[in-house]
Structure 1
């Protein structure tokens, strides 16, 4: 998420649970301002999801982005931080490892179908100590089945391991509309452009241009979700024209910004 011109986010508290009251437990909250949690992990799986707002999960591997109709599956024991945009409506779930059958070596961004969304909303109205043998338990089981079957989507921005590239990426994230070229960055870092390009591809699996484009498009999700004009968002993210921004957005997400946020 871009930080230029925005207030410093407040720190969210993490519930001090020693164990889950049920194999599937929900944490639901409204966050009027930008928020973050400090780096932490859980002994259970977490589904970080919001029915409104944009979430980011940061791990050592990279940034996992969840606009509406997307969620992030976080394996048990994985250190992470959670960032949220203003006016986020959280509907996060904690899943005991004994019932979380979804295979995942790391975080995954999942597509949230209309059915899964409604199941999560219905679950948020249940008491914490719901009857596991009755209708509430059956709803929880259907919800778990849907979570395990939800298809993954590619909404991850990988972070390089090389310290020089990490410094470069921090600069890029701080100024989405920056126009410094790879050749100029290579001069600043004291390496050849060819070497820098090779290191970027080795560490992230993406070219420098593709990585920066993905960074800009991910940074555009919050202002778009909040209703800002596409033209204004495009310029703030470094695009010279609205048409170029929409073309890049369609290439990444398979639809235009308007279609993305209307249809989910």
Structure 2
């Protein structure tokens, strides 16, 4: 179903009996699950499996498209929460599917669109648009502070000292709690912060400076290595090419 949300609107914590596909034509979505934080830019999607508690907060005005999928739909769909790269075909199918009536005939054109969309979702590439959140209270509090003001130059030593532990213990804690080294985690945090700010229209050079990079080119190289596109490519609308051409 299509729905528009204002900036900073939040759904609150909830879950669904069915799987959910969250997609936005405009605006980014920050999604919290039980152990991860996701940042979904415009024209990407998040697959949320049935029963998973989650909360969605809008970053900018969000033009959302949501689909709910019954468990056991007979397609090899994701079993866990994943961010998806949306192809032009998938985008068109999502838009068309959300225009269909809630009750439709399985063998109608609407039913065909739904089946084709699920087949397309099953083959979409996934994106690393999530950040693991530690459960240990002291480390979780520190990570929340880092997420408020991400800095690629943040050093482990003073952070370990603030927790009253050695740098070696800090490194062990981080890997044990998140599965990432501190360096990997802070880089991922910077990627999510960059996605949020770029989706809101911030300039690449400003974002690079705010996140502590030496230059826009260094930031761009990191961004491209992580997501496979440059920061400037992020905001480009994907072409809406017709599925069947004529003439």
TM-score when scaled to structure 1?
0.83
The correspondence for 1:159, drawn from 124, 129, 133, is: 133
- RMSD over aligned Cα, in angstroms? 1.9
When residues 122 and 103 of structure 1 are mapped into structure 2, their CA distance, relative to the original with a 3 A threshold, is closer
Show structure 2 runs of 5+ residues with no match.
239-247
The separation in 2 between residues aligned to 1:228 and 1:67, in whole angstroms, is 14
Aligned runs of 1:70-219 on 2, under 5 Å? 70-99=44-73, 101-177=75-151, 180-219=154-193
The residue aligned with 1:30 is 4
The answer to whether the Cα contact below 8 Å between 1:44 and 1:94 also exists between their aligned partners in 2 is: yes
The separation in 1 between residues aligned to 2:211 and 2:74, in whole angstroms, is 38
Post-superposition Cα deviations, 1:165-216, rounded to whole Å, max 9, x if no partner, equal 1111011011224854210011110000011011111221211122111111
What secondary structure does 1:56 align onto? Answer: strand
The separation in 2 between residues aligned to 1:100 and 1:52, in whole angstroms, is 31
What secondary structure does 2:73 align onto? Answer: coil
TM-score when scaled to structure 2?
0.89
How many pairs are equivalent? Answer: 238
TM superposition outliers: structure 1 runs of 4+ over 6 Å = none
The separation in 1 between residues aligned to 2:145 and 2:172, in whole angstroms, is 19
The separation in 2 between residues aligned to 1:100 and 1:31, in whole angstroms, is 32
The separation in 1 between residues aligned to 2:132 and 2:148, in whole angstroms, is 16
The residue aligned with 2:210 is 236
1:60 and 2:19 matched:
no
Please report how far the alpha carbon of residue 162 of structure 1 lies from its aligned counterpart in structure 2 after TM superposition: 2.0
Per mean C-alpha deviation after superposition, the further-off stretch among 133-142 and 90-99 is 133-142
The separation in 2 between residues aligned to 1:180 and 1:144, in whole angstroms, is 42
Post-superposition Cα deviations, 1:6-30, rounded to whole Å, max 9, x if no partner, equal xxxxxxxxxxxxxxxxxxxxx2111
The separation in 2 between residues aligned to 1:91 and 1:144, in whole angstroms, is 15
1:39 and 2:13 matched:
yes
Per mean C-alpha deviation after superposition, the further-off stretch among 209-218 and 125-134 is 125-134
Post-superposition Cα deviations, 1:92-118, rounded to whole Å, max 9, x if no partner, equal 111111316335442111121110000
